[in-house]
């Protein structure tokens, strides 16, 4: 396993192509849940958790159930001698969204049973994550970039950390902004967008980092 | 509610992007040029229209408890159709919209309309609602893309508009430009709203 490679992937996902600020994924929670620090941290942790698991599971599903290879489990079970494996990759979208939706439900049930404390703090954010495009986005991204299993897992976790970083920074700024005098028309979402723009500008500075 | 009012609701008073702040990811990501914006808008209209019609026509047969997975399944099917059609016939547009075509499946506008409107109304009203919301979304995308393309590239829909002496503001094409544009447009719409509520006497006196 190449540790350096994994490090490059994580720095890339956290800072250089930050999920929120440069890839534009997960904007809805970024604007919606960033009013208070507590909820931002809770949402962020839930996203890191779900993104890491979803990356791993969708990678396995794609590689062993949808790709037309001889390692395809459906081919091993149902394929006949001399037949070539069927290409099922067109089912990618529909499979991934179902896997993620049921995964989120499952994770919620497990957390509820095993640690009620964690469930109290993360519980309300978990159902919201199903329609968070960042989770589905990272699954597509892993496949499109041709990552292997470990790289996908690391990319999922690092992307979640990048999302949390942007969300927590934003929540800190918005708490300060409560006391600032903002023109009436710009209050709420508009000023949040402008601040996000400034933050994106700052994060563009990281694109000068040369990796590898 | 009259048909005209229902149609206009999605475009003006309940505009999904500027008023409800739904489905923002594709608005920010694919509004670098007016051409991309229209491509994305038409894809969303198609998926929204088809899913609204289907959900509304089978609304009496959908069991209450598993309605969300059924909606997602319907939406994902139409998204796959759009994805394959674009990949086959407009490969360049498909490439520049990238992942965001597939991500229409988690666009809150579509699931939101299926749940809040199509599941409670007849197919005719669902079509009107889908068209209103879809066109409202597309117009919002075109508005954002217009600012970004003119300032960032000096062109509109690929045609040069600002002459050769204009130095393009590269920032507008990059990610900060998207956030600034949408922030300023929502702010401007809020300002118009506040102005309308103040009586003229106060403004003039």
pTM over 0.95: no
Chain A and chain B share a number of CB contacts under 8 A equal to: 120
Q: What is the pLDDT of residues A180-190, one digit of tens each?
A: 888 888 888 89
Instruction: Mark yes or no for CB contact B183/A192 under 8 Å.
Output: yes
> What length does chain A have?
212
Q: What is the pLDDT of residues B165-195, one digit of tens each?
A: 888 888 888 889 999 999 999 999 989 888 8
What is the rounded radius of gyration, in angstroms, for the C-alpha atoms of chain A? 19
What average pLDDT does this structure show over A169-179? Answer: 89
Residue-wise DSSP of chain A: --HHHHHHHHHIIIIIT-TTTTT--SHHHHHHS-SSHHHHHHHHHHHHHHHHHHHHHHHHHIIIIIS-STT-HHHHHH--TTPPPP--GGGHHHHHHHHHHHHHHHHHHHHHHH-HHHHHHHGGGHHHHTT-HHHHHHHHHHHHTT--HHHHHHHHHHHHHHHHHHHHHHHHHHHHHTTS---GGGTTHHHHHHHHHHHHHHHHGGGG----
| pLDDT, position A33 | 79
Residue B120's SS3 state is: coil
Tell which wins on pLDDT, B122 or B193. B122
What is the rounded radius of gyration, in angstroms, for the C-alpha atoms of chain B? 19
- Which residue out of A140, A192, A197 would a mutagenesis test of the B interface target, given it has the greatest number of B Cβ atoms within 10 Å? A197
Let me know: does B41 contact B137? Beta carbons within 8 Å.
Answer: yes
What average pLDDT does this structure show over A97-111? Answer: 85
pLDDT at A1 over 70: no
Q: Average pLDDT over chain B, rounded to whole? A: 88
ipTM summary value:
0.86
Under the phi-then-psi rule, with left for phi > 0, alpha for psi from -120 to 50, and beta for the rest, what region is A2? beta
Using pLDDT thresholds of 50, 70 and 90, give the confidence band for residue B199.
low
Q: What is the pLDDT of residues A19-59, one digit of tens each?
A: 889 888 888 888 877 888 888 888 888 889 889 999 999 99
Of B108, B176, B191, the CB nearest to A201: B176
Instruction: Mark yes or no for CB contact A201/B99 under 8 Å.
Output: no
């Amino acid at each position: 396993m190449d540790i350096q490679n994994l490090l490059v992937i994580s720095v890339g996902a956290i800072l250089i192509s930050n999920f929120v600020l440069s890839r534009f994924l997960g904007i809805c929670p970024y604007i919606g849940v960033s009013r208070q620090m507590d909820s931002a941290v809770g949402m962020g942790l839930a996203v890191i958790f779900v993104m890491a698991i979803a990356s791993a599971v969708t990678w396995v599903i794609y590689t062993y159930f949808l790709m037309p290879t001889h390692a395809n489990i459906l081919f091993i079970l149902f394929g006949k001698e001399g037949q070539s494996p069927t290409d099922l990759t067109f089912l990618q979208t529909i499979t991934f969204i179902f896997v993620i939706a049921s995964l989120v439900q499952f994770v919620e049930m497990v957390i509820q049973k095993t640690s009620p404390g964690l469930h109290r703090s993360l519980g309300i954010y978990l159902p919201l994550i199903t329609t968070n495009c960042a989770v589905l986005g990272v699954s597509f991204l892993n496949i499109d970039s041709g990552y292997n299993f470990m790289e996908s897992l690391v990319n999922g976790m690092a992307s979640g950390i990048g999302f949390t970083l942007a969300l927590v920074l934003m929540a800190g700024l918005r708490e300060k902004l409560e006391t600032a005098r903002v023109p009436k028309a710009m209050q709420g979402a508009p000023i949040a967008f402008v601040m996000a723009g400034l933050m994106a500008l700052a994060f563009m500075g990281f694109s000068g980092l040369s990796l590898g | 509610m009259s048909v005209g009012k229902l149609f206009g609701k999605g475009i003006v008073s309940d505009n999904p992007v500027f008023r409800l702040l739904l489905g923002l990811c594709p608005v920010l990501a694919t509004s670098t040029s007016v051409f991309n914006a229209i491509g994305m808008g038409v894809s969303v209209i198609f998926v929204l229209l088809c899913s609204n019609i289907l959900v509304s026509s089978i609304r009496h047969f959908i069991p209450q408890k598993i309605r969300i997975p059924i909606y997602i399944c319907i939406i994902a099917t139409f998204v796959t159709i759009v994805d394959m059609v674009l990949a086959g016939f407009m490969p360049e547009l498909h490439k520049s919209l990238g992942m965001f075509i597939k991500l229409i499946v988690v666009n809150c506008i579509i699931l939101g309309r299926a749940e809040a409107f199509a599941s409670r109304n007849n197919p005719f009203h669902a079509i009107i609602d889908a068209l209103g919301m879809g066109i409202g979304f597309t117009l919002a995308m075109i508005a954002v893309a217009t600012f970004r393309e003119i300032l960032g590239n000096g062109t509109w829909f690929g045609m040069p508009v600002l002459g050769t002496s204009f130095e393009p503001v590269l920032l507008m094409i990059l990610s900060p430009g998207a956030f600034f544009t949408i922030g300023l447009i929502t702010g401007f719409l809020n300002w118009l709203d506040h102005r309308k509520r103040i009586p003229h006497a106060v403004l003039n006196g």
